Amino acid sequence: MVLVLVLVVVLAVLLAATALVVSTRSRRQRNAVAGSSASRPPTGTLLLEQQTAQPSPDTVDSDLRELAERDLAEGEAAEQLRAGRPALGDRLGKARQLLGGYLTGIRSKPVDGATFDELEEALLLADAGVTTTTKVLEDLRAKVRSGAVAGTPEALLAALRSDLEAIFDGDESAMSLGEDGGPTVWLFVGVNGVGKTTTIGKVAARELAEGRKVVLAAGDTFRAAAGEQLEAWAERTGATLVRGAEGADPSSVIFDAVAHAAARGSDLVLADTAGRLHTKVNLMEELRKVRRIADRPPGHLTEVLLVLDATTGQNGVVQAKQFRDAVGVTGVVLTKLDGTAKGGVVLAIRSELGLPIKLVGVGEGVADLVDFDPAEFVAALLG
């Protein structure tokens, strides 16, 4: 508390000084930026008022759904869905061919310091981070020294693989559904551009294929055309869409969606949210509210899924921590793993923050979503 006090004053003095220095400049520019300096549009606070003020929820009606189902039935996506969920390994062929043989070099040589250097390189290049890499390799060295792991390249790699897999021990990739009496709500959160909306589309297709009735809540009322994007997914998958006006309070849209789902006896509400950087205090505050409302009866919020781009570097840990602290993330969806990025940052996210990885996105198609599998993930990481 003392610290806060001192810090605020120090900052106040510093900022006051800088603000003064720049105030002449900013005053000159003020006219130019006046229009753009407003933050996000004000959001409503009273739900009931919002409900009457908003246009009634758009609903994708049944013939659209039929249309979408027909489309789907003709596509290979439907076949894939019917044939069971695709495995991660199958989907990574292309990217891994390019990277293949990365560690083959060490297989043909006796184990020495250079072997560990190569392993270190592989892990660092996979975005595993310095801390995780160092720890994993130190453990491995100790095992070799104590004789628990034989000093052959094969034994070393096998031990490394099982150590990395062990990071995910005890995780359950299945997502939880609430008890009877009211729809289950899954909330999707994350920074901008990670693939939240696309992930929702794929999850919707998957859950519909399981025979659940799915409602999509267009809770991203900020980004231009985010609602339209989700609408396209609703049409493609045959899920029902509930959306509000652009700039509407996201909480109210999600509340409407839950109410709609409850009234129609739907099982599951997939709630989209606007992408936000974890450093934006106001937006994280808004997300807290969204989370509270999403859990309000008749809905049961059972999953808060952090969508994370596999190309993300070490900042992913910070993101995960901030979102976890703000809205209690229950699991991570790792997207865009079909590229050359290996998503090693989830090792740190799992080991440092304890967040399980649940799903993996491997493309833009409706079926490009697989359950997270530690063995496959690690094989791909080291492959």
Partner 1 sequence: MFETLTDRFEGIVARLRSRGHLSDSDVSEVLREIRVALLEADVNLAVVKDLIEAIRSRCVGAELAKSLSPAQQVIKVVDEELTRILGGEPLKIRYASKPPTIVLLAGLQGAGKTTVAAKLARWFKQQGRQPLLVAADLQRPAAVEQLRILGRDVGATVFSETTDPVSVAREGVAEAERLGRDIVILDTAGRLAIDDALMAEVRAISEVTRPDYTLFVVDAMTGQDAVRTAEAFNEALALDGVILTKVDGDARGGAALSVKQVVGKPIAFISTGERPSDFETFYPDRLARRILGMGDVLSLIEKAEREYDSDVAEKATERLMSGQFSLDDFLEQLQQIKRIGPLQSMLGMLPGVPKDFRNAKIDDKDVGRIEAIIKSMTPDERRGAVALDGSRRSRIATGSGTSAAEVNNLLRQFKEMQKMVRTLGPVNRLVGGAGRKPHKGKQKGSRFTPSSRGAR
Phi/psi at 290 (nearest 5 deg)?
Answer: -55, -45
What is the layout of strands, in order, in the sheet containing 369-371? 240-242, 214-217, 268-271, 184-189, 300-309, 331-335, 357-361, 369-371
For partner 1, what does the binding mask look like between residues 27 and 66, x meaning CB under 8 A?
Answer: x-----x--xx--x--------------------------
Q: Is 8 in the site for partner 1 (CB under 8 A)?
A: yes
Eight-class DSSP state of 177: -
CB of 200 to partner 1, least distance (A): 12
Q: How far is the CB of 224 from partner 1 (least distance, A)?
A: 4
Which position among 221, 312, 330, 351 is part of the footprint of partner 1 (CB under 8 A)?
312
For residue 298, cis peptide bond before it (omega within 30 degrees of 0): yes
Q: Is 4 among the residues that bind partner 1 (CB under 8 A)?
A: yes
CA distance 79 to 75: 7
Are residues 215 and 298 in contact, defined by beta-carbon separation less than 8 angstroms? no
> Shortest approach of partner 1 to residue 337 CB, angstroms?
11
DSSP-assigned letters across all residues of 184-205: EEEEEE-STTS-HHHHHHHHHH
What DSSP element (H or E) covers 113? helix 113-125
- Give 159-162 contacts, CB < 8 A, sequence gap 24+: 160/119, 160/136, 160/382, 161/378, 161/379, 161/382
Q: Which residues inside 131-190 make contact with partner 1, applying CB under 8 A?
A: none
Q: Which of 43, 59, 173, 311 binds partner 1 (CB under 8 A)?
A: 311
| Residue 239 is a binding residue for partner 1 (CB under 8 A) | no
Residue 309's closest CA among 169, 213, 196? Answer: 196
Nearer to partner 1, 105 or 313 (CB): 313
Smaller CB separation from partner 1, 104 or 340: 340
Task: Choose the stretch contacting partner 1; rule: CB under 8 A; options: 161-169, 260-268, 308-316, 371-379.
Answer: 308-316
Given 3, 55, 84, 147, the residue binding partner 1 (CB under 8 A)? 3
Nearer to partner 1, 23 or 104 (CB): 23
Nearer to partner 1, 267 or 309 (CB): 309
Residue 233 found at the interface with partner 1 (CB under 8 A): yes
Out of 225, 247, 263, 354, which residue is the one contacting partner 1 (CB under 8 A)?
A: 225
Give the separation between CA 178 and CA 184, rounded to whole angstroms: 5
According to CB under 8 A, which residues from 241 to 300 bind partner 1? 277-282
Query: From the CB of 174, what's the least distance to partner 1, in Å?
Result: 27
